[in-house]
Structure 1
Amino acid sequence: MSKENNQNTTPKKPRFSSWWVYGVILVLIIGFQIFGSSAFSSTQEITTSELYEFLRNGDIDKINIIKNRGQAKIFLTESAKGKDVHKGVSDKPIIPSTGANPQYILTYGELEIFENNINEIKTNNSLDTDVKFDTESSLFTDLLVSLLPFALIIGIWIYLMRRMSGGAGGGAGGQIFNIGKSRAKLFDEKTDTRTSFKDVAGLEGAKEEVQEIVEFLKNPDKYTSLGGKIPKGALLVGPPGTGKTLLAKAVAGEAKVPFFSLSGSDFVEMFVGVGASRVRDLFKQAKDKSPAIIFIDEIDAIGRARGKNNFTGSNDERENTLNQLLTEMDGFGTNTNVIVLAATNRADVLDKALMRAGRFDRQIYVDLPDIRERKEIFEVHLRPIKTAETLDLDFLARQTPGFSGADIANVCNEAALIAARKEKKAVSKQDFLDAVDRIVGGLEKKNKIITPEEKKTIAFHEAGHATVSWMLEHAAPLVKVTIVPRGQSLGAAWYLPEERLIVRPEQMLDEMCATMGGRAAEKVIFNKISTGALSDLEKVTKQARAMVTIYGLNDELGNVTYYDSSGQGEYGFTKPYSEETAQKIDEEISKIIEQQYQRAIKLLDKNKDKLSELAERLLEKEVIFKDDLEKIFGKRPFEKDNEPTQVNGAETKTEAQVEEDKA
């Protein structure tokens, strides 16, 4: 066997710890207190009857009564020590003591009775035994009583400081004296799970940007030879769940350089100056290991614009931390071999000094994935999923408009859970459709108690949505309608919205009209309205307000917008328009909504019989699909050739696709 193998098989000796010494001392102290000095002497314990017998025989020279302990120490005369009855107690103690060592000790009961019995024996036998009363105190006990409160206070203080500084264990930030140390985690390729750019689907533009940053660090001469400079930092901006942190993980896995990762909240502490100290320590560690990458997630925790919330005028610890970060990123003596990556979904609130070139040279916008990118994301997340058939990823991508990468990962996981709940051996397409319904609409509640009248109202409400959207050109194509309660909704009409980059007024108005179709159907059929249109009213009100105040699509107000893209308006106490304009805005919003409501009523009045037929079928089946509407209304006149269709949860091809397949 080789020497190397011998070293591997040799059991590791336990590491010495100072806590062992403290433990041994504590055990010795406790043992000494429990057993007392009798453990190290020849003193024996006797009963009161034996004491009285020894006293009558004249063997006792002195009795010390310790009142505070309820004990008596008995000292024999020199002549009595030689008697056989006292053999063994007259020996010298195991550990020599400077004080007198008693031969016997006893614990008495009532002091007065004990004292009277001794005095009576002394009188009857004419003894001159010395009886003394004394009190004893232990030095250790006195020290313990006096020092214990201070020790408890100091211990509690140290415990709280450790908790506030990030844990009771060792390491940077763990001890009270290391509270100003950086709490960044250094990525370890050997132990940490490695993520590569292959695991990041979609995000082609953002991926190219961060790949180039990795290339900067691997081959800096390629760029600096032409006079270029390596960028100081890159800011990943985008909605939640779009893959900003995933991109950073891929950089950590691909960069082959030290990678420090931490959150913006790791700099925040209750102590003054700690945040700035941690920033200094973080960049010091990164410079020592340069070239290196620092990744700060949720940087808006410390990067918020300065001077906006400091109403008190006092020292702001967060601003001090930000100032130190600005200095480290682009100040005197800045090391260019450290690149800072940061991520946030609140770029509008960041300080302008943080966003300028020279600090974050690149701002990479990570947007929600389009239909092509959603297909690629599905391919990544379907790798570990055991599917029952070859899934049409184009169909799944069309079924999930507006979903982020995190949402798609949740769909795949939820589909697997649904299949397992149904005791299936593999995941099918229907499980994915159910997962989308579960995530968008909520948990299905078939056992919800609904009266027949309420169920009929819900059916006509949802049928109204379906009818109006079928009749309007720019309304989103319908997928299915259901009156099965999900989450907080009692019914739902599911659409497949067209992914547009720009939206025209007629498209917004058609969508608003379709949204008001539910309440309009209640008015047409029952001549009554209900509270079931709350979410519809909320949606159309937001759309109408956006048309008037943001996009400038209203003729009365003209081409003006009151939208502040910088986000600074939220800190103000005044509106950017006058009271007269505010009144006009309210009137125009109400006018737009009322026009679309009346438009929906007219459409439903013309198709009242078809609306009733659709509602009756909905009451019968509870869930109806696009083909059910085609049987009642005929082919939708505005349908495009490339629109997906769905029958009972399965996709059917359009006529154009069928002809293309034949060719």
Structure 2
Amino acid sequence: MKKQDKLYSTNSSEEKQTQAPSPKGFKMYWLYLLFLGFMIFFMFFGQTFNTKEIGWIEFEQTMLHTHDVEKIIVVNKEIAEVFIKSEKLKDPKYQNIPKGKFISNTSPHYIISIGSVDSFENKLQQAQKDFSPSELVDVRYVNRTNWWSTIVWILPFGLLILFWMYLFRGLGKSTMGGAVFNFGKSTAKLLDKDTKSTVTFKDVAGLKEAKKEVEEIVDFLKNPATYTKLGAKIPKGVMLVGPTGTGKTLMAKAVAGEANVPFFSLSGSEFVEMFVGVGASRVRDLFKQAKQKAPSIIFIDEIDAVGRSRSKLNSFQSNDERENTLNQLLTELDGFGTNTGVIVLAATNRADILDKALLRPGRFDRHIYLELPNKQERIEIYEVHLKPIKKAKDVDVQLLASLSPGFSGADIANICNEAALIAARKKQQAVFQEDFMEARDRVVGGLERRGKIISPKEKKIVAYHEAGHAIASWYLKNVDSLVKVSIIPRGKSLGGAWYLPEEHQIITKSQFTDQLCASLGGRAAEEIIFKEASSGALDDLEKVTKQAYTMVAYYGLNTKMGPMSFYDSTGENERFLGKPYSEKMAELIDKEVQDLINLSYEKVSKLLITHQKELEVLAKLLLKKEVVYLEDLEQILGERINETPINIAD
């Protein structure tokens, strides 16, 4: 709570600083209001300026012959303005003349559109041939500029200009420079002493070796003399590599919180834009800002977005914006310029696709690998994420860590949060061990769907399928210990067997083969009991096929193939459509994989036939209880002997 209060007060002080009173003076919005008012004025009152237009016949018969016309003014040789005598305006026929405060005494009463001046003069002369000289109407000719027509014509262009001014003004505020076309400026977020990250190295659990190396970088920035007096140079770059969720970004946040230097943070995708040259310009601007604030740190998350390896396949393109950005980044990291006091941190989970020039010493001197945590590290991670959770006394952190092998720090954080949500949904006062187990099952297998409608026949098939997995794994030596078996639909699966896995750095051939047999136990049980197989083993078959190909083609665990491996750690073969071996070798690989899977299937079928009675008892218990735990399994199958009864041939 104290950290939250501190963070809140910091944010409040930032808002006070950013909400400083603006200087007095002309504001742009006054121009918008003025223009809007001008438009409204002409929309509502512009019609009062419109004088009624009449034809020649009406003019001649109702006005000219009755001697009502005082004068005529021909404007621009196009329009004739008719002025009626003041004493004649009282006549009822002139009551339709517009009146108002915008109509002055000098305004015409009517207008006539004339084709040409000569024609108008001839008509007027013929109409007044019987008039006396004193009754002739005075005709004058003037040239005027029609401002209203000009305004109406310019109005759309004015609106368009104002719109673009408003749009560019917003774009200018959204970039760091504040200019209108500021696309080439860096979009990195700057963290300094006032906006320092609240994450420290204490919040990073596990990762002891990686944290130690990163702490040395921070110590170098704080105490450079300790290293420089011995001739050491500051590392230019540190690359954080590891699977997703292992804490790469968290480590960078801890560096930002511990190092009392400016910290620039951005993503690799922020360099790439649709405009040519923008990425390289942003790289230059980023390093320029970092040099001005040196010593400083630059953190580029997901650097593989811009640091992907340059290949010959892209050389046919006339211009590659990503490649230009990478070239500029390489130059800034280790070019002719100097970056004294600037350290670059980068994170990626795809180090295999990064350009070799980017990874060499002098650019990224240190490569720190963040692997998935082991059991002891998972215990530390659980303890960090359990601090804000109100947990019950029965919560066993050791057991939770044992049941989550291969889980990353993000997965563990998700389990803790999910357990708290489950306990809150149950209206409990604390989070119990049962809630954590349910959260783990949900994260691994998906949401439990008890309402999914399954026919009795399908439910029976699922029960024997899962019982087959359980029996096979119970009697096979190199399969993980079984914890429970369930036929409750969860996620996309209709059931599942849950194990307490052991952590292995290497896997032997016998372990691989036993795992193949256990995965095929469900399908074998269906054929033994129902004399036919179903489509429910799709996921098992996919896993078995991939694992068998891995054994034969990658790990060299086949006697006919010999100690050969076609695994490509560089990822270069992925760019080619062909395979790195001949058709004859491909046929041999396919045959050995097929034989391996068939032998495994025969082995597990013999095992299930031997223990068919236990298989049927366990399946019937599953149909009754839906979930069978370890205690029930031991009552049916006895204590686990961990012996493989039948050896598999190569």
- TM-score by length of structure 2 reads 0.83
Distance change (3 Å), C-alpha of 1:12 and 1:334: closer
**Aligned counterparts, 1:652-663, within 5 A:** none
2:153 equivalent among 125, 135, 145 = 145
Distance in 2 (CA, whole Å) between partners of 1:571 and 1:328 is 29
Decide whether the 8 Å contact of 1:181 with 1:281 is kept in 2: yes
Decide whether the 8 Å contact of 1:479 with 1:625 is kept in 2: yes
1:487 shift after superposition: 1.1
Decide whether the 8 Å contact of 2:525 with 2:608 is kept in 1: yes
Q: Is 2:32 the counterpart of 1:26?
A: no
**Aligned counterparts, 1:444-483, within 5 A:** 444-483=448-487
Q: Which amino acid aligns with 1:145?
A: W
Q: What's the secondary structure of 1:341's corresponding residue? A: strand
**Matched residue, 2:586:** 582
**Matched residue, 2:443:** 439
1:612 shift after superposition: 0.4
**Matched residue, 1:571:** 575
**Matched residue, 1:102:** 107
Q: Which amino acid aligns with 1:30?
A: M
1:395 shift after superposition: 1.1
Q: Is 2:420 the counterpart of 1:416?
A: yes
Once the two structures are superposed, what CA deviation does each residue of 1:456-477 show, in whole Å capped at 9, x if it has no partner?
1100000000001000111011
Once the two structures are superposed, what CA deviation does each residue of 1:230-267 show, in whole Å capped at 9, x if it has no partner?
10000000101111011111111111100001111111
Decide whether the 8 Å contact of 1:172 with 1:179 is kept in 2: no
Distance change (3 Å), C-alpha of 1:124 and 1:259: farther
Distance change (3 Å), C-alpha of 1:211 and 1:56: farther
Q: Is 2:617 the counterpart of 1:613?
A: yes
Distance in 2 (CA, whole Å) between partners of 1:291 and 1:490 is 57
Distance in 1 (CA, whole Å) between partners of 2:183 and 2:351 is 29
Distance change (3 Å), C-alpha of 1:599 and 1:38: closer
Structure 1 residues not aligned, in runs of 5+? 1-6, 46-51, 108-121, 640-663
Distance in 2 (CA, whole Å) between partners of 1:77 and 1:382 is 98
1:171 shift after superposition: 2.7
**Matched residue, 1:638:** 642
Once the two structures are superposed, what CA deviation does each residue of 1:158-205 show, in whole Å capped at 9, x if it has no partner?
95x899xxx573433775521111111101443465211111111111
Q: What's the secondary structure of 2:173's corresponding residue? A: coil
Distance in 1 (CA, whole Å) between partners of 2:20 and 2:412 is 48
1:396 equivalent among 397, 400, 415 = 400
Distance in 2 (CA, whole Å) between partners of 1:499 and 1:479 is 16
Q: Which amino acid aligns with 1:25?
A: L
Once the two structures are superposed, what CA deviation does each residue of 1:316-357 show, in whole Å capped at 9, x if it has no partner?
111111111111101112222100000000000000010100
**Matched residue, 2:539:** 535
Distance change (3 Å), C-alpha of 1:17 and 1:631: farther
Distance in 1 (CA, whole Å) between partners of 2:393 and 2:111 is 90
**Matched residue, 1:335:** 339
Distance in 2 (CA, whole Å) between partners of 1:334 and 1:344 is 25
Decide whether the 8 Å contact of 2:488 with 2:627 is kept in 1: yes
Q: What's the secondary structure of 1:589's corresponding residue? A: helix
Once the two structures are superposed, what CA deviation does each residue of 1:372-391 show, in whole Å capped at 9, x if it has no partner?
11111111111222223352
Q: Is 2:326 the counterpart of 1:318?
A: no
Once the two structures are superposed, what CA deviation does each residue of 1:59-96 show, in whole Å capped at 9, x if it has no partner?
76247899xxxx997646588899xxx9xx9xxx9999
Distance in 1 (CA, whole Å) between partners of 2:35 and 2:111 is 28
**Matched residue, 1:226:** 230
Q: Which amino acid aligns with 1:235?
A: M
Decide whether the 8 Å contact of 1:286 with 1:292 is kept in 2: yes
* Count of residue correspondences: 603
Distance in 2 (CA, whole Å) between partners of 1:139 and 1:593 is 91
**Matched residue, 1:368:** 372
**Matched residue, 1:647:** none
Q: Is 2:271 the counterpart of 1:267?
A: yes
Distance in 1 (CA, whole Å) between partners of 2:20 and 2:367 is 53
Structure 2 residues not aligned, in runs of 5+? 1-15, 53-60, 113-127, 644-650
Distance in 1 (CA, whole Å) between partners of 2:470 and 2:142 is 100
Distance in 2 (CA, whole Å) between partners of 1:506 and 1:638 is 13
**Matched residue, 1:119:** none
Distance in 1 (CA, whole Å) between partners of 2:146 and 2:497 is 84
1:629 shift after superposition: 0.8
Q: Which amino acid aligns with 2:35?
A: L
RMSD: 4.2
**Aligned counterparts, 1:8-47, within 5 A:** 12=21, 16=25, 18-34=27-43
Distance change (3 Å), C-alpha of 1:526 and 1:79: closer
Distance change (3 Å), C-alpha of 1:621 and 1:388: same
Decide whether the 8 Å contact of 1:158 with 1:176 is kept in 2: no
Decide whether the 8 Å contact of 2:192 with 2:260 is kept in 1: no
Distance in 1 (CA, whole Å) between partners of 2:434 and 2:506 is 33
Distance change (3 Å), C-alpha of 1:558 and 1:136: farther
**Matched residue, 1:117:** none
Decide whether the 8 Å contact of 2:309 with 2:354 is kept in 1: yes
Q: What's the secondary structure of 1:303's corresponding residue? A: coil
Distance in 1 (CA, whole Å) between partners of 2:243 and 2:394 is 31
**Matched residue, 2:250:** 246
Q: What's the secondary structure of 1:495's corresponding residue? A: strand
Distance change (3 Å), C-alpha of 1:15 and 1:354: farther
Distance in 2 (CA, whole Å) between partners of 1:445 and 1:253 is 43
Q: Is 2:288 the counterpart of 1:289?
A: no
1:597 equivalent among 590, 598, 601 = 601
